[in-house]
Chain A
Amino acid sequence: MTYFSFFKSESLLLWRHKQDTLNALLFFVIVVTLFPLGIDATPDFLTVSAGGIIWCATSLAVLMSISRMYREDYEDGSLEQWLVSGLYLPFLILLKVTVQWLFMIAPLLLILPIVGGMLYLSEESFWVLVATLLLGSPSLFLIGSIGAALTVSLQQGAMLLMLLILPMYIPILIFATSAIKASEIGLPYLGSLAMLLAISLLSLVFAPFMAAASIKASVNE
Protein backbone atom coordinates (compact mmCIF):
# COMPACT_ATOMS: atom_id res chain seq x y z
CA MET A 1 0.00 0.00 0.00
CA THR A 2 1.20 3.52 -0.78
CA TYR A 3 -0.45 6.86 -0.09
CA PHE A 4 -1.27 7.17 -3.76
CA SER A 5 -2.78 3.70 -4.15
CA PHE A 6 -4.78 4.33 -0.99
CA PHE A 7 -6.09 7.62 -2.35
CA LYS A 8 -7.02 6.00 -5.65
CA SER A 9 -8.88 3.11 -4.06
CA GLU A 10 -10.73 5.41 -1.66
CA SER A 11 -11.92 7.53 -4.59
CA LEU A 12 -12.94 4.46 -6.51
CA LEU A 13 -14.84 3.15 -3.49
CA LEU A 14 -16.77 6.38 -3.05
CA TRP A 15 -17.61 6.28 -6.72
CA ARG A 16 -18.92 2.73 -6.36
CA HIS A 17 -20.96 3.87 -3.35
CA LYS A 18 -22.21 7.05 -4.98
CA GLN A 19 -25.74 6.24 -3.90
CA ASP A 20 -24.78 7.16 -0.32
CA THR A 21 -23.56 10.60 -1.39
CA LEU A 22 -26.68 11.06 -3.48
CA ASN A 23 -28.82 10.21 -0.48
CA ALA A 24 -27.04 12.79 1.65
CA LEU A 25 -27.55 15.42 -1.06
CA LEU A 26 -31.19 14.49 -1.37
CA PHE A 27 -31.51 14.85 2.38
CA PHE A 28 -29.91 18.29 2.09
CA VAL A 29 -32.38 19.41 -0.57
CA ILE A 30 -35.35 18.08 1.37
CA VAL A 31 -34.35 19.88 4.57
CA VAL A 32 -33.82 23.12 2.69
CA THR A 33 -37.23 22.91 0.99
CA LEU A 34 -39.01 22.08 4.23
CA PHE A 35 -38.10 25.42 5.79
CA PRO A 36 -40.06 27.68 3.41
CA LEU A 37 -42.95 25.22 3.46
CA GLY A 38 -43.00 24.86 7.21
CA ILE A 39 -42.25 28.38 8.42
CA ASP A 40 -42.68 31.18 5.97
CA ALA A 41 -42.30 31.33 2.20
CA THR A 42 -42.04 35.11 1.87
CA PRO A 43 -38.80 36.53 0.41
CA ASP A 44 -38.40 38.78 3.49
CA PHE A 45 -38.01 35.83 5.83
CA LEU A 46 -36.08 33.63 3.43
CA THR A 47 -33.37 36.11 2.42
CA VAL A 48 -32.29 36.63 6.01
CA SER A 49 -32.50 32.97 6.98
CA ALA A 50 -31.11 31.39 3.81
CA GLY A 51 -27.56 31.18 5.18
CA GLY A 52 -28.70 29.54 8.40
CA ILE A 53 -30.97 27.09 6.62
CA ILE A 54 -28.33 26.01 4.13
CA TRP A 55 -25.65 25.66 6.78
CA CYS A 56 -27.85 23.62 9.13
CA ALA A 57 -28.79 21.32 6.28
CA THR A 58 -25.16 21.01 5.22
CA SER A 59 -23.96 20.14 8.72
CA LEU A 60 -26.58 17.43 9.10
CA ALA A 61 -25.93 16.02 5.65
CA VAL A 62 -22.18 15.92 6.30
CA LEU A 63 -22.66 14.29 9.66
CA MET A 64 -24.97 11.74 8.14
CA SER A 65 -22.64 10.81 5.32
CA ILE A 66 -19.42 10.56 7.31
CA SER A 67 -20.67 9.04 10.55
CA ARG A 68 -20.04 5.64 9.00
CA MET A 69 -16.95 6.50 7.02
CA TYR A 70 -14.72 3.93 8.80
CA ARG A 71 -17.38 1.32 9.46
CA GLU A 72 -16.65 -0.84 6.45
CA ASP A 73 -12.90 -0.50 7.00
CA TYR A 74 -13.40 -1.74 10.53
CA GLU A 75 -15.48 -4.70 9.51
CA ASP A 76 -13.39 -5.92 6.59
CA GLY A 77 -10.07 -5.66 8.42
CA SER A 78 -8.78 -2.64 6.50
CA LEU A 79 -8.14 -0.62 9.65
CA GLU A 80 -5.69 -3.30 10.79
CA GLN A 81 -4.02 -3.22 7.41
CA TRP A 82 -3.63 0.57 7.66
CA LEU A 83 -2.05 0.17 11.09
CA VAL A 84 0.51 -2.35 9.89
CA SER A 85 1.09 -0.80 6.48
CA GLY A 86 4.10 1.21 7.64
CA LEU A 87 2.32 4.33 6.41
CA TYR A 88 1.57 7.27 8.65
CA LEU A 89 -1.98 6.83 9.95
CA PRO A 90 -2.91 10.52 10.41
CA PHE A 91 -1.96 11.13 6.82
CA LEU A 92 -4.05 8.20 5.58
CA ILE A 93 -6.95 9.67 7.50
CA LEU A 94 -6.35 13.07 6.00
CA LEU A 95 -6.41 11.52 2.53
CA LYS A 96 -9.64 9.70 3.27
CA VAL A 97 -11.29 12.85 4.63
CA THR A 98 -10.13 14.79 1.57
CA VAL A 99 -11.73 12.27 -0.75
CA GLN A 100 -14.96 12.39 1.25
CA TRP A 101 -14.91 16.19 1.18
CA LEU A 102 -14.35 16.42 -2.56
CA PHE A 103 -17.10 13.94 -3.35
CA MET A 104 -19.64 15.73 -1.22
CA ILE A 105 -18.77 19.38 -1.66
CA ALA A 106 -18.41 19.37 -5.44
CA PRO A 107 -21.98 18.20 -6.16
CA LEU A 108 -23.25 20.38 -3.33
CA LEU A 109 -21.76 23.47 -4.97
CA LEU A 110 -23.36 22.41 -8.24
CA ILE A 111 -26.88 22.36 -6.83
CA LEU A 112 -26.30 25.47 -4.73
CA PRO A 113 -27.46 28.00 -7.37
CA ILE A 114 -30.85 26.29 -7.50
CA VAL A 115 -31.14 26.15 -3.73
CA GLY A 116 -29.96 29.77 -3.40
CA GLY A 117 -32.55 30.91 -5.93
CA MET A 118 -35.24 29.05 -4.07
CA LEU A 119 -34.37 31.00 -0.92
CA TYR A 120 -34.16 34.38 -2.70
CA LEU A 121 -30.48 34.80 -1.93
CA SER A 122 -28.97 37.91 -3.54
CA GLU A 123 -26.05 37.44 -5.86
CA GLU A 124 -23.43 38.86 -3.55
CA SER A 125 -24.65 36.78 -0.62
CA PHE A 126 -24.59 33.72 -2.84
CA TRP A 127 -20.89 34.15 -3.43
CA VAL A 128 -20.33 34.71 0.26
CA LEU A 129 -22.23 31.48 0.89
CA VAL A 130 -19.94 29.67 -1.54
CA ALA A 131 -16.93 31.14 0.26
CA THR A 132 -18.21 30.05 3.68
CA LEU A 133 -18.79 26.55 2.37
CA LEU A 134 -15.34 26.29 0.82
CA LEU A 135 -13.61 27.66 3.91
CA GLY A 136 -15.81 26.12 6.59
CA SER A 137 -16.79 22.69 5.30
CA PRO A 138 -13.32 21.13 5.64
CA SER A 139 -13.63 21.54 9.40
CA LEU A 140 -17.05 19.86 9.34
CA PHE A 141 -15.45 16.83 7.73
CA LEU A 142 -12.31 16.84 9.83
CA ILE A 143 -14.14 17.15 13.14
CA GLY A 144 -16.77 14.66 12.01
CA SER A 145 -14.07 12.13 11.20
CA ILE A 146 -13.01 12.17 14.86
CA GLY A 147 -16.55 11.23 15.84
CA ALA A 148 -16.67 8.52 13.20
CA ALA A 149 -13.39 7.08 14.47
CA LEU A 150 -14.56 7.17 18.08
CA THR A 151 -17.76 5.30 17.32
CA VAL A 152 -16.46 2.84 14.75
CA SER A 153 -16.62 -0.22 16.98
CA LEU A 154 -19.99 0.60 18.55
CA GLN A 155 -22.85 -1.60 17.51
CA GLN A 156 -25.52 0.69 18.91
CA GLY A 157 -25.77 4.34 19.68
CA ALA A 158 -23.21 5.39 17.12
CA MET A 159 -25.50 8.05 15.71
CA LEU A 160 -26.28 9.34 19.18
CA LEU A 161 -22.61 9.69 19.97
CA MET A 162 -22.08 11.45 16.69
CA LEU A 163 -24.51 14.07 17.92
CA LEU A 164 -21.94 14.82 20.60
CA ILE A 165 -19.84 16.19 17.77
CA LEU A 166 -22.54 18.71 16.90
CA PRO A 167 -21.57 21.23 19.63
CA MET A 168 -18.17 21.48 17.96
CA TYR A 169 -20.00 22.53 14.80
CA ILE A 170 -21.62 25.49 16.53
CA PRO A 171 -18.77 28.02 16.12
CA ILE A 172 -18.46 27.10 12.46
CA LEU A 173 -22.20 27.53 12.02
CA ILE A 174 -22.17 30.89 13.78
CA PHE A 175 -19.33 32.40 11.76
CA ALA A 176 -20.70 31.07 8.48
CA THR A 177 -24.23 32.35 8.97
CA SER A 178 -23.10 35.68 10.36
CA ALA A 179 -20.92 36.23 7.28
CA ILE A 180 -23.88 35.58 4.99
CA LYS A 181 -26.21 37.74 7.05
CA ALA A 182 -23.68 40.57 7.15
CA SER A 183 -23.32 40.55 3.39
CA GLU A 184 -27.10 40.55 3.04
CA ILE A 185 -27.38 43.82 5.01
CA GLY A 186 -24.19 45.35 3.63
CA LEU A 187 -21.85 44.91 6.60
CA PRO A 188 -18.24 43.66 6.36
CA TYR A 189 -17.94 39.89 6.44
CA LEU A 190 -14.26 39.18 5.79
CA GLY A 191 -13.59 38.74 9.52
CA SER A 192 -16.04 35.85 9.75
CA LEU A 193 -14.56 34.25 6.67
CA ALA A 194 -11.11 34.52 8.22
CA MET A 195 -12.40 32.83 11.36
CA LEU A 196 -13.80 29.97 9.27
CA LEU A 197 -10.44 29.55 7.61
CA ALA A 198 -8.74 29.59 11.01
CA ILE A 199 -11.06 26.88 12.36
CA SER A 200 -10.46 24.73 9.30
CA LEU A 201 -6.69 25.10 9.61
CA LEU A 202 -6.84 24.30 13.29
CA SER A 203 -8.87 21.15 12.68
CA LEU A 204 -6.50 20.25 9.86
CA VAL A 205 -3.70 20.22 12.40
CA PHE A 206 -5.49 18.37 15.19
CA ALA A 207 -8.24 16.19 13.77
CA PRO A 208 -6.12 13.63 11.88
CA PHE A 209 -4.13 12.89 15.03
CA MET A 210 -7.19 12.60 17.21
CA ALA A 211 -8.95 10.38 14.68
CA ALA A 212 -5.82 8.22 14.38
CA ALA A 213 -5.65 7.78 18.15
CA SER A 214 -9.33 6.81 18.24
CA ILE A 215 -8.86 4.30 15.45
CA LYS A 216 -5.94 2.70 17.25
CA ALA A 217 -8.05 2.44 20.39
CA SER A 218 -10.99 0.96 18.50
CA VAL A 219 -8.87 -1.69 16.82
CA ASN A 220 -7.21 -2.57 20.12
CA GLU A 221 -10.52 -2.99 21.88
Chain B
Amino acid sequence: MQSADFLTITDLWIERGERVLCKELSFSVQSGEVIRILGENGAGKSSLLKALLGTVLIDEGSILYLGEDITADRSNLHKDTLYIGHSVGLKKALTVRENLALYCPDVSIEGYQPILEELGLAPFLDMPVNKLSQGQARRTALSRLWLTQKSLWILDEPFSALDDQACLLLEKKIEQHSLAGGVVLLTTHIPLSSIQPRELEFAV
Protein backbone atom coordinates (compact mmCIF):
# COMPACT_ATOMS: atom_id res chain seq x y z
CA MET B 1 0.00 0.00 0.00
CA GLN B 2 1.18 3.48 -0.80
CA SER B 3 1.80 5.58 2.29
CA ALA B 4 -0.51 8.53 2.85
CA ASP B 5 0.26 12.06 1.68
CA PHE B 6 1.45 14.47 4.32
CA LEU B 7 -1.53 16.69 3.60
CA THR B 8 -4.43 16.18 1.21
CA ILE B 9 -6.71 19.12 0.57
CA THR B 10 -9.90 18.40 -1.32
CA ASP B 11 -12.47 20.83 -2.72
CA LEU B 12 -11.67 23.63 -0.33
CA TRP B 13 -14.00 26.65 -0.26
CA ILE B 14 -13.03 29.71 1.74
CA GLU B 15 -15.19 32.78 2.01
CA ARG B 16 -14.23 35.86 3.94
CA GLY B 17 -16.74 38.61 4.32
CA GLU B 18 -18.42 38.91 0.95
CA ARG B 19 -15.58 37.47 -1.07
CA VAL B 20 -15.06 33.90 -2.16
CA LEU B 21 -11.31 33.43 -1.87
CA CYS B 22 -11.13 29.98 -3.34
CA LYS B 23 -13.50 27.37 -4.60
CA GLU B 24 -12.83 23.69 -5.08
CA LEU B 25 -9.13 24.06 -4.40
CA SER B 26 -7.47 20.66 -4.24
CA PHE B 27 -3.83 19.79 -3.81
CA SER B 28 -1.68 17.41 -1.88
CA VAL B 29 1.62 17.82 -0.12
CA GLN B 30 4.29 15.14 0.26
CA SER B 31 6.90 14.89 2.97
CA GLY B 32 10.00 16.86 2.10
CA GLU B 33 8.16 19.35 -0.09
CA VAL B 34 8.49 23.11 -0.03
CA ILE B 35 5.42 24.82 -1.41
CA ARG B 36 5.15 28.45 -2.26
CA ILE B 37 1.69 29.90 -2.55
CA LEU B 38 1.49 32.53 -5.25
CA GLY B 39 -1.02 35.32 -5.59
CA GLU B 40 -1.31 39.08 -5.60
CA ASN B 41 -1.95 41.15 -2.46
CA GLY B 42 -5.35 40.25 -1.09
CA ALA B 43 -5.63 37.07 -3.15
CA GLY B 44 -6.11 35.06 0.00
CA LYS B 45 -2.74 33.42 0.63
CA SER B 46 -2.73 34.18 4.33
CA SER B 47 -6.35 33.10 4.56
CA LEU B 48 -5.51 29.75 2.97
CA LEU B 49 -2.70 29.12 5.44
CA LYS B 50 -4.97 30.04 8.31
CA ALA B 51 -7.71 27.84 6.92
CA LEU B 52 -5.31 24.91 7.00
CA LEU B 53 -4.50 25.75 10.60
CA GLY B 54 -8.17 26.12 11.44
CA THR B 55 -8.04 29.73 12.61
CA VAL B 56 -10.07 30.75 9.56
CA LEU B 57 -13.16 28.66 9.02
CA ILE B 58 -13.60 26.78 5.79
CA ASP B 59 -17.01 26.58 4.21
CA GLU B 60 -16.55 23.27 2.48
CA GLY B 61 -13.87 20.75 1.74
CA SER B 62 -11.76 18.36 3.70
CA ILE B 63 -8.20 18.22 4.94
CA LEU B 64 -6.36 14.96 5.55
CA TYR B 65 -3.18 14.89 7.58
CA LEU B 66 -1.20 11.66 7.16
CA GLY B 67 -4.40 10.06 5.96
CA GLU B 68 -6.45 11.16 8.96
CA ASP B 69 -9.37 13.54 8.49
CA ILE B 70 -8.61 16.64 10.56
CA THR B 71 -11.24 18.95 9.09
CA ALA B 72 -13.17 19.06 12.36
CA ASP B 73 -10.30 18.89 14.82
CA ARG B 74 -6.78 20.13 14.01
CA SER B 75 -5.16 19.29 17.34
CA ASN B 76 -2.99 16.51 15.89
CA LEU B 77 -1.78 18.82 13.15
CA HIS B 78 -1.04 21.60 15.64
CA LYS B 79 1.21 19.33 17.70
CA ASP B 80 3.54 19.03 14.74
CA THR B 81 3.25 22.53 13.30
CA LEU B 82 5.15 25.74 13.65
CA TYR B 83 3.31 28.78 12.35
CA ILE B 84 4.79 32.21 11.91
CA GLY B 85 2.31 34.70 10.52
CA HIS B 86 2.29 38.38 9.62
CA SER B 87 2.08 39.16 13.33
CA VAL B 88 4.57 36.86 14.92
CA GLY B 89 3.19 36.65 18.45
CA LEU B 90 6.20 38.05 20.29
CA LYS B 91 5.41 39.78 23.58
CA LYS B 92 6.70 43.32 23.28
CA ALA B 93 7.36 43.84 26.97
CA LEU B 94 9.39 40.67 27.29
CA THR B 95 13.01 40.29 26.26
CA VAL B 96 14.21 38.08 23.42
CA ARG B 97 15.31 35.48 25.95
CA GLU B 98 11.96 35.55 27.74
CA ASN B 99 10.07 35.22 24.48
CA LEU B 100 12.16 32.25 23.48
CA ALA B 101 11.56 30.76 26.92
CA LEU B 102 7.83 31.14 26.30
CA TYR B 103 7.81 29.45 22.90
CA CYS B 104 10.72 27.03 23.25
CA PRO B 105 10.71 26.21 26.97
CA ASP B 106 12.46 22.86 26.73
CA VAL B 107 15.70 24.00 25.13
CA SER B 108 18.49 25.88 26.83
CA ILE B 109 19.30 29.09 25.01
CA GLU B 110 23.00 28.57 25.76
CA GLY B 111 23.05 25.46 23.57
CA TYR B 112 21.95 27.56 20.60
CA GLN B 113 24.50 30.33 20.99
CA PRO B 114 26.09 29.77 17.53
CA ILE B 115 22.84 30.15 15.61
CA LEU B 116 21.76 33.10 17.73
CA GLU B 117 25.13 34.68 16.91
CA GLU B 118 24.58 34.00 13.25
CA LEU B 119 21.10 35.52 13.43
CA GLY B 120 22.65 38.55 15.10
CA LEU B 121 20.50 38.11 18.20
CA ALA B 122 23.16 37.20 20.72
CA PRO B 123 23.86 40.80 21.83
CA PHE B 124 20.14 41.52 22.20
CA LEU B 125 19.03 38.55 24.26
CA ASP B 126 18.14 40.72 27.23
CA MET B 127 16.54 43.55 25.32
CA PRO B 128 12.75 43.89 25.29
CA VAL B 129 11.26 43.14 21.89
CA ASN B 130 9.69 46.60 21.56
CA LYS B 131 13.21 48.06 21.44
CA LEU B 132 14.27 45.85 18.53
CA SER B 133 14.15 46.79 14.87
CA GLN B 134 11.55 45.14 12.61
CA GLY B 135 14.11 42.82 11.13
CA GLN B 136 15.54 41.90 14.52
CA ALA B 137 12.06 41.08 15.79
CA ARG B 138 11.40 38.93 12.72
CA ARG B 139 14.73 37.16 13.28
CA THR B 140 13.73 36.50 16.88
CA ALA B 141 10.46 34.91 15.75
CA LEU B 142 12.22 32.89 13.07
CA SER B 143 14.81 31.59 15.51
CA ARG B 144 12.06 29.22 16.66
CA LEU B 145 12.73 27.29 13.44
CA TRP B 146 16.13 26.36 14.83
CA LEU B 147 15.02 25.86 18.42
CA THR B 148 11.99 23.59 17.90
CA GLN B 149 11.43 20.29 16.13
CA LYS B 150 8.23 20.32 14.12
CA SER B 151 7.59 18.70 10.73
CA LEU B 152 5.28 21.29 9.23
CA TRP B 153 6.33 24.90 8.93
CA ILE B 154 3.72 27.39 7.87
CA LEU B 155 5.47 30.65 7.14
CA ASP B 156 3.48 33.67 6.02
CA GLU B 157 5.93 36.08 4.38
CA PRO B 158 8.86 35.03 6.54
CA PHE B 159 11.28 37.11 4.48
CA SER B 160 9.63 40.44 5.12
CA ALA B 161 11.90 42.94 6.87
CA LEU B 162 14.91 40.60 6.55
CA ASP B 163 18.20 41.67 4.99
CA ASP B 164 20.02 39.59 2.34
CA GLN B 165 22.16 37.72 4.84
CA ALA B 166 19.15 36.67 6.93
CA CYS B 167 17.17 35.72 3.81
CA LEU B 168 19.97 33.39 2.72
CA LEU B 169 20.20 31.90 6.18
CA LEU B 170 16.47 31.24 6.19
CA GLU B 171 16.48 29.76 2.70
CA LYS B 172 19.28 27.43 3.74
CA LYS B 173 17.31 26.38 6.80
CA ILE B 174 14.20 25.72 4.73
CA GLU B 175 16.25 23.61 2.33
CA GLN B 176 17.72 21.61 5.20
CA HIS B 177 14.29 21.08 6.68
CA SER B 178 12.91 19.73 3.44
CA LEU B 179 15.94 17.46 2.93
CA ALA B 180 15.24 16.05 6.39
CA GLY B 181 11.71 15.20 5.29
CA GLY B 182 9.95 18.27 6.70
CA VAL B 183 7.25 20.22 4.93
CA VAL B 184 7.21 23.98 4.39
CA LEU B 185 4.28 26.03 3.16
CA LEU B 186 5.22 29.62 2.57
CA THR B 187 4.21 32.81 0.88
CA THR B 188 6.55 35.52 -0.22
CA HIS B 189 6.70 38.31 -2.76
CA ILE B 190 10.46 38.25 -3.16
CA PRO B 191 12.36 36.02 -5.60
CA LEU B 192 14.09 33.11 -3.91
CA SER B 193 17.70 32.45 -4.80
CA SER B 194 18.70 29.03 -3.55
CA ILE B 195 15.52 27.00 -3.23
CA GLN B 196 13.04 26.07 -5.94
CA PRO B 197 9.76 25.46 -4.21
CA ARG B 198 6.79 23.87 -5.91
CA GLU B 199 4.47 26.72 -6.81
CA LEU B 200 0.79 26.78 -6.13
CA GLU B 201 -1.07 29.45 -8.04
CA PHE B 202 -3.80 30.97 -6.01
CA ALA B 203 -6.60 32.46 -8.06
CA VAL B 204 -10.33 32.00 -8.11
Contacts from A to B (Cβ < 8 Å): 1-2, 4-6, 8-9, 12-13, 16-17, 72, 75-78, 80-81, 83-86, 216, 219-220
A1-B103, A6-B102 as given contacts; A16 in contact with B94, CB under 8 Å: yes
A220 touches B78 (CB 8 A): no
B81 at interface by CB-CB < 8 Å: yes
Secondary structure class of chain A's binding surface, majority of residues: helix
B20 at interface by CB-CB < 8 Å: no
Question: In chain B, what residue has the closest Cβ to A87?
Answer: B78
Report B62-91 residues with CB < 8 Å from chain A CB: 74-75, 78-79, 81, 83, 85-91
Chain A residues with CB below 8 A from B55, complex form = 80, 83-84, 216, 219-220
Contact with A along B46-63 (1 / 0, CB 8 A): 000010011111000000
Per the bound structure, the CA–CA distance linking A5 and B85 in Å amounts to 21
For this complex, into which size category does the number of interface residues on chain B fall? 20 to 34
A-B contact pairs, 5 of them (CB 8 A): A2-B106, A8-B102, A76-B87, A80-B50, A80-B83
A75-B87, A76-B91 as given contacts; A84 in contact with B78, CB under 8 Å: yes
A9 touches B78 (CB 8 A): no
Chain B residues with CB below 8 A from A13, complex form = 91, 93-94
B173 at interface by CB-CB < 8 Å: no
CB distance from A21 to the nearest CB of B (A): 14
Per the bound structure, the CA–CA distance linking A84 and B81 in Å amounts to 8
Q: For A81, give its contact among B50, B83, B92, B98 (CB under 8 Å).
A: B83
Per the bound structure, the CA–CA distance linking A138 and B50 in Å amounts to 34
Per the bound structure, the CA–CA distance linking A4 and B103 in Å amounts to 11
B89 touches A76 (CB 8 A): yes
Chain A residues with CB below 8 A from B135, complex form = none
Per the bound structure, the CA–CA distance linking A8 and B105 in Å amounts to 10
Chain B residues with CB below 8 A from A75, complex form = 87
Question: In chain B, what residue has the closest Cβ to A217?
Answer: B57
